[in-house]
Amino acid sequence: MKRVIMLFAAVTMMVAAVSCNQNTKKVPKMLIVYYSQTSNTKVVADEIQHLSGADVEVVIPVNPYSGTYQETIERSAKEREEGILPEIEPLKANLADYDVIFLGYPIWFGTYAPPIATLLSQIDLNGKKVVPFCTFGSGGLESSVNDLKAKFPNAEILEGYGVRAARLDAVPYEVDQFLKANGFIEGEFVKLPEFSEPKPVTEEESAIFDKAVEGYRMLNAKASEVALRDIPNGKEYLFMAVNTPRPDGPQMPASEIKVYVTVQDGQEPVFTKVVR
């Protein structure tokens, strides 16, 4: 009987120790830092904050980019050519207090916007978990993530989340799935299958591609191959294509691109991003 009592006491102590460890498990402290000129990136930041409860810090340029689209492009291009980083207001948050940094920005000239470049010149993200998120006209998430990895080789930089400005209505669902898939919030998420092996496009698939990119003046592309996978209530296509200059656009050399297109049941094709 004495042996049974001692065994019971030992088990009780083990259970208590496990319970104690579970209760004292550190919850990572998260901060959302973002710049948003037109409020598109703010939409994503607000959804991340709503779902995760992370703290928020907005990057504010001292001289705002408040002109027209063309004026903003011209100013940004001039700054890039002259190596100018726009001055920003100091951050209020102490990044050393946070384990996870959600870093948000619009894509300009294929990477994060200049106010974020200024921020990154002033801080050190090495040793942090960094979660990029961005908005764009056609793409730029992958190239901006590569730039972040090159700048902070000792940071854990996730592949991130990006969305076209024309698809902001998809943000609530996609951000929810992204946060769950990466363990930032609890809940079930849809794990998508891998794409099939690429194959030459059929006439029907070529028509899907043409319909998806129709009207987007930055693309003048023709699809050659495609890979497919099933998604909830539809299909996703990964087209390999060659983009050539439009007659009314800048004379750039032809380039190979990847274009992601979704077709939800009963809806028109929509391209979700371009990877150059």
Q: Is the pLDDT of residue 171 over 60?
A: yes
pLDDT > 70 fraction of the chain, expressed in percent and rounded: 88
The stretch 162-184 carries a mean pLDDT of 98
The domains of the chain are located at 30-181, 199-275
pLDDT digit string, tens, across residues 187-228: 999 999 999 999 999 999 999 999 999 999 889 999 999 999
pLDDT at 254: 85
Q: Is 244 exposed, middle or buried (CB count within 10 Å of its CB: 0-12, 13-18, 19+)?
A: middle
- What is the C-alpha to C-alpha distance for residues 266 and 105, in angstroms, rounded to an integer? 33
Q: Is the pLDDT of residue 236 over 80?
A: yes
Q: Is the pLDDT of residue 15 over 80?
A: no
What's the pLDDT band for 249 if we cut at 50, 70, 90? low
CATH number belonging to the domain at 30-181, selected among 1.10.357.10, 3.40.50.360, 3.20.20.140, 1.10.8.60: 3.40.50.360
pLDDT at 27: 80
pLDDT digit string, tens, across residues 70-129: 999 999 999 999 999 999 999 999 999 999 999 999 999 999 999 999 999 999 999 999
What is the number of other CB atoms lying within 10 angstroms of the CB of residue 101? 22
pLDDT at 61: 98
pLDDT > 90 fraction of the chain, expressed in percent and rounded: 84
pLDDT at 253: 77
Q: Is the pLDDT of residue 21 over 60?
A: no
Sheet holding 255-264, edge to edge: 199-200, 221-231, 234-243, 255-264, 270-275
Q: Strands 255-264 and 270-275: what pairing?
A: antiparallel
The CA distances from residue 105 to 79, 110, 134, 230, 256, in Å, are 17, 12, 5, 30, 26
Q: Is the pLDDT of residue 8 over 60?
A: no
The model's pTM: 0.89
Task: Find all residues with CB under 8 Å of 68, minimum gap 6, and list them.
Answer: none
Q: Residue 275, SS3?
A: strand
